[in-house]
Copies of this chain bind each other. A is one copy, B any other.
């Protein structure tokens, strides 16, 4: 059995804001002191991580002078080099400052939209300087509580205008970046526009350069809407649109919890890991989660280690699934139906002749309906596998 120790090859990354989370919540103050970004880099490297990701203001305070910013970035780059760490992804904080309280790119106030563009261009510049090839957009304030205040079609149009502008900006700078859009159904807004990964994928097709833009699905954000994240990521992968991914966990439909990966929905986490591994996903395994508010700094590193460890355990389970005789027997019977049906000639690409024949085909509906599919057996084998009981 593996010892489940992460290595660079595993490509595990954490946001500075995740291990750096101080435990502030709607009903309570911060519980932990800030950890300097350079220390985060050092500690995560020691745990086996591959890189860190960041919002502009995770690293550089929003009101820093150019000189302060230059010094901070210089020190941070040194830490990255010292610890062989990368910054695969960067993003903009367009939600914390009060100026963005009614949206950034979708604000009713064009001054706010302009400021959001400016802030994002600057943050893209910094991301590029740090080597980020993926730039994420999570529009935490791009939504509404009062639907009278904005036509949702205007929200979409404004978001599109800004995304098109920023795509062109990054290309004009030859940054070689791709953009990844992250959906969330609600919180902090009552409802957020383009609320699911599906909605974001549909929106992307309306952009000037759809190829430059994909999605960054987050486990908890889809589960907050009760959706099956395995299905969501499956659709994104199949469409070639998975550009980044946010791994965490969530106790069902409630407030956004950002819990340690694999700590709640074990079965869902397993299928997700299996899908990423089976599909040959080569991007980072990024954790967008944070430690419980009960933890001191030692607990922060327990949290980070736990995210990676559980991923590796589930990766091993995925390997076992693919060679488990009981499971594979059932799956091969399922697959065998494809070759046995003799009907493929009438399906696939349409032709009038095929359709004519297919309409005359006789089916023994009763017999087809009576066949047991053995899914109780199959699912129990998965449960046994997950529990280490086979």
Contact = CB atoms under 8 A, between A and B. Distances in A.
B368 A109 contact: yes
Interface stretch (A35-43, A65-73, A246-254, A280-288): A246-254
A244 interface: no
A96 B28 contact: yes
A313 B387 contact: yes
Given A299-B374, A372-B297, A365 B115 contact: yes
A96 B166 CA distance: 40
Given A27-B140, A199-B235, A227-B191, A347 B168 contact: no
Nearest to A203: B235
B114 A148 contact: no
Interface string A51-76: 00000000000000000000000000
Interface string A283-306: 000000001111111111011011
Interface residues of A, number: 166
B388 A389 contact: yes
Contact of A152 (B27, B223, B234): B234
A47 interface: no
Contact of A296 (B111, B256, B313, B372): B372
Interface in A327-345: 327, 331, 334, 337-338, 341, 343-344
Contacts of A156: 234-235, 238-239
A326 to B, nearest CB: 11
Nearest to A193: B231
Given A198-B200, A296-B372, 11 more contacts: A98-B370, A147-B271, A148-B382, A156-B235, A206-B239, A255-B255, A260-B379, A291-B376, A302-B374, A306-B376, A313-B389
